[in-house]
Every structure is written in structure tokens, then in C-alpha cells.
Amino acid sequence: MDQLGPKAIAKISGKAWDELRLNFLVVCGMLLDVSPDAFGELTTTYIKFTIGNKHMSRVYAAMWVKNSKSFTIGIALPEDCKHPLFTDALKGMSYKGLTKYVTMTSEDTIPDQFSDFAEIAYKLRLSELE
């Protein structure tokens, strides 16, 4: 998973992340599989998923990893994209341009459509560059 920065990998490498790591890696894989140019980099408490790894690249998703019990994903989707798991942004977990949010634990099943949502978000943000 070369597209995921080393700080992000280090963040989830500890024993406390054992239960949540698989869901984390699956979701990261779905977010990064949209393009070879996709990149995920840990900032402070969240991972920015961008079109390329240059400074000021467009963010199409973010994942807040404040603790090893859950993570919250924000994703740039059109308003008409619906899923029962989508919520509004949680306090302290919002990012400009991200419109849908999902919080996941180790017990949650990742929706089959999530890879489709990742692709839609990536293409939406990419189209804004044209």
C-alpha cells in the first residue's frame, strides 16, 4: 500500500489497533484503489485522501483516527448519494467539500457500495480541476 503514507501506517501499527486494523485497511484500500494518483497522508488526527501527493491537492475523502475503537470517514459525494450509514459531520470532524460521513468500528460491516462511493468522490473532485 505505497499510496498510504508511512505516518498513517505507523499510527495503526500498535497492538491497540488489532481489532480495527482490518476494517481500516479495507477502507483505505477502497479509497486508494480509485487511481494510481490517489494518496493518503496522516496529518494530526486524520488522513487526507488526495488526488496526488502534492501540497494543496484536492481532498476527496478524510479519515479521522483519533482512537483505536473507531474511525470516521468523510467523503465528497453529491447530495443525492444516499446510504443508511451516512450521517452529518461529527463535532471536530468536518472538512471543506466533504459531504457525507460514516463512523465505523471493528464490529461494522463495510458497505459493498463503499468502493463505488470512493470512485464517485474521486471523480467529482477531479472534475473540479478541469
* Per-residue pLDDT tens digits for 97-117: 999 999 999 999 998 899 999
Beta-bridge mates of residue 90: 93
Domain spans of the chain? 6-121
Cell numbers representing residue 43 in the block:
496529518
Q: What is the pLDDT of residues 5-27, one digit of tens each?
A: 899 999 999 999 999 999 999 99
pLDDT of residue 118 exceeding 60: yes
Give 6-121's CATH code, choosing from 1.20.120, 2.40.50, 3.90.1150, 3.30.2010.
3.90.1150
CA nearest to 39, candidates 28, 52, 27, 29? 52
pLDDT tens, 76-87? 999 899 999 999
Mean residue pLDDT across the chain: 91
Whole-number pLDDT of residue 56? 66
